[in-house]
Structure 1
């Protein structure tokens, strides 16, 4: 019962706030001309996605939302590319040592007296781990690239969304009109006005 009370109280507060807010809008609209609504451009999301596909971050620049997104995009891609290159170089290093050891040659992990710093099984294990890390870094780079394209397209859609004060939510409580049933009933109606 307490939950129901809090839910009703929440909607009454929203309704009261919406009424106060709508009176302000009416007063302001009487004093000054309303700004024109933004025209919907159906090609804007596809342009933003295209620009992002050509150059990462260009869609965010097209949307004028680049001040915090570009550092994340380029920082994430640069980090994952750095780890890709580093893991690839280390993989090649261990792979070369493993091949030399398999051929019976001196490798960089074997001392001059024949003592092995890393065993053959250790070289194989390092190769597997470094290959997984390299592939994960490549996957992360591709994922960041795709996500920034999707983000540019979605942002271009949402920029054009009408968020003016003409939109409102009006919760209303309607009493039951059933004469035969005297038990209290609770209902909720949401009314959207555009």
Structure 2
């Protein structure tokens, strides 16, 4: 009968394994969960107080633009209202027979005629209306901007959708073919 015996001696050699791990942080921002009410919330905030929706979206630089636009509309409304009142009062005084308004001048003939005073009233009234429209337009653009910005803030930018130029050489006539390829990866 044949038998084999194997013997091992104990080894005192210890092996330590040093692993160095390099953690590369992704260049894209961490994806936050989608909030479907964020655009309507931002629009509501801007409707209640102009600029509050922009603050909600963290676009603080837009707030002064909104207030400057609305304030300029209000300023020109007040200025045109004063001018309208000046022209209207001068016209009324002339119809009453007075010749002491600021547009009459020093002589017997007026510097600005009655017809020109009527035209100036119409122009001032039209400018008042335009000033109100400008202020309302800034107010509405404020609300729309907050809504759109909240939508775009949550827009997913990933590598699943790529658009790249495509250049190929045509082997028959040796001319370049230019194209655009769209790649869409569905998970």
- TM band (smaller chain): 0.7 to 0.9
Which of structures 1 and 2 has the bigger CA Rg?
A: 2
> Which residue in 2 is equivalent to 1:6?
none
CA distance in 2: counterparts of 1:163 and 1:64, whole angstroms: 19
The alpha-carbon deviation at position 73 of structure 1 amounts to: 0.5
Residues 1:192 and 2:186 are matched in the alignment? no
The alpha carbon displacement at 1:175 in A equals 7.8
Task: Indicate whether 1:91 and 2:84 are aligned.
Answer: yes
User: After the TM superposition, which residues 1-194 of structure 1 pair with which residues of structure 2 at under 5 Å, given as runs?
Assistant: 31-32=23-24, 36-66=30-60, 68-109=61-102, 110=104, 114-164=108-158, 167-172=161-166, 182=172, 186=177, 188-194=179-185
Larger relative helix fraction: 1
Q: Aligned with 1:31: secondary structure?
A: coil
**Larger RCO: Structure 1 or Structure 2 (Cα < 8 Å, ≥ 6 residues apart)?**
1
Describe the shift of the 1:82–1:183 C-alpha distance in structure 2 as closer, same or farther (beyond 3 A): same
For structure 2, the 5+ residue unaligned runs are: 1-21
**TM-score computed with the length of structure 1 as normaliser:** 0.70
- 1:13 counterpart residue number: none
Deviation per CA, 1:157-179: give whole Å up to 9, x if none. 00000124555334455788xxx
Unaligned ranges ≥5, structure 1: 1-29, 177-181
Query: Could you say what the CA RMSD is over the residues aligned between the two structures, in angstroms?
Result: 2.7
Deviates more, 1:161-170 or 1:145-154: 161-170
